[in-house]
Structure 1
Amino acid sequence: MLLAVVWQVFSRYIFNIPSTLTDELASFSLIWLGLFGSAYATGKKLHLSIDLIPDKILAKSPLFFNGIINLLICFFAFSIMAIGGSRLCWLTYVLDQKSAALQVPLYLVYSSVPINGFIIMYYTLDTILSSTKLKKKQDDFN
């Protein structure tokens, strides 16, 4: 992606001939990089969260609220990313849509959505299971 963007800038300002291939390649790379980055952040438990519930309420039952948040993330990843992304890939495959400059089948570009949806689902389900196992161990210890 970096090389494509550097070449795009170089060809545009030095040769005064912008490269359309590198523009499209950088866009597709950004899509894949962004989605795999979000899956990676989910796996490292670094995903973005907004604290709308006061800390006093969260302190009473953090496992419950974290479970709800993780279930909502899993539901989103399954319904929107996995199912919706798969339908998008299938539709672009059936219609045989290709990108304008590179002539790459668009279902290959869009396939990052369901792939990362399944990865995010895996990480959130793993987080839910590991936190319930940890809670069970703590209850057994007490």
Structure 2
Amino acid sequence: MSEALVTVPPDELDELERSSRVVRWLVGAERALSSLALVATFSLVLLQVVSRYVFHSPLTWTEELARFSLVWLAFLGAGFVMARRQHIAVDILAKALGKVGERIVNGIAIVVVLIVSGVLAVAGAQFAVLASAIKAPATQLPMSVVYGAAAVGFALIFIHGVLNSGFDMAQARKRSTVAAGPEGVSE
């Protein structure tokens, strides 16, 4: 589609991140926390295997914490992926419709993503509050710790969707202003 929708490799800053320290910090925090959740999940599973098969005395809490860590990894990663525009998409229909059709389909898609992620962020937060009295069986952590991951993840998807859309619209306006020339007449 447009140059604004071109994705960059995960280890490079995209145009929005280069232009905003706040966005750069948010994406960096998501990346760091996702990495931490990945390392925690791996370490907990490894600890579970060692305690079960080497010491023949499995720890009851490692499997539960590994699961919780994996949930956080998935939702934090979803926010990071949305920031980088790396979500999986089937674009056969959009590409077949030409440039204008592709813009319309992509516009509808982002509106749907914003509505769904906004609704699920609010619902996830409400559910996390309701689940705060429920304790996990092995760790006795409040289940709101786990269910809060969905609220955070969908909120990040919503925030990045809004930021990316606003940035894309600003870039499109900038391109159309430049194309119109100094007197506002298209060349």
Same fold (TM over 0.5): yes
Runs of 5+ in structure 1 lacking a partner? none
Deviation at 1:48, TM superposition (A): 1.6
Deviation at 1:63, TM superposition (A): 3.1
- 1:112–1:54 distance in 2 versus 1, CA, 3 Å: closer
Report % sequence identity.
25
Q: TM-score, normalization: structure 1?
A: 0.89
Q: TM-score, normalization: structure 2?
A: 0.69
- RMSD of aligned Cα (Å): 1.5
Matched residue SS, 2:97:
helix
Measured in 1, the distance between the counterparts of 2:94 and 2:107 equals: 17
Deviation at 1:138, TM superposition (A): 1.8
The structure 1 residue matched to 2:67, chosen from 16, 27, 35, is 27
Deviation at 1:52, TM superposition (A): 4.7
The structure 1 residue matched to 2:131, chosen from 67, 76, 92, is 92
Measured in 2, the distance between the counterparts of 1:46 and 1:99 equals: 33
Measured in 1, the distance between the counterparts of 2:90 and 2:170 equals: 26
**1:61-72 equivalence runs, <5 A:** 61-72=101-112
- 1:115–1:21 distance in 2 versus 1, CA, 3 Å: same
Asked if structure 1 preserves the Cα contact closer than 8 Å seen for 2:94 and 2:102, the reply is no
How many residues in Structure 1 have an aligned counterpart in Structure 2? Answer: 139
Deviation at 1:102, TM superposition (A): 0.3
Q: Which amino acid aligns with 2:164?
A: T
Higher RCO (CA-CA < 8 Å; seq separation 6+)? 1
**1:36-47 equivalence runs, <5 A:** 36-47=76-87
Runs of 5+ in structure 2 lacking a partner? 1-40, 180-187
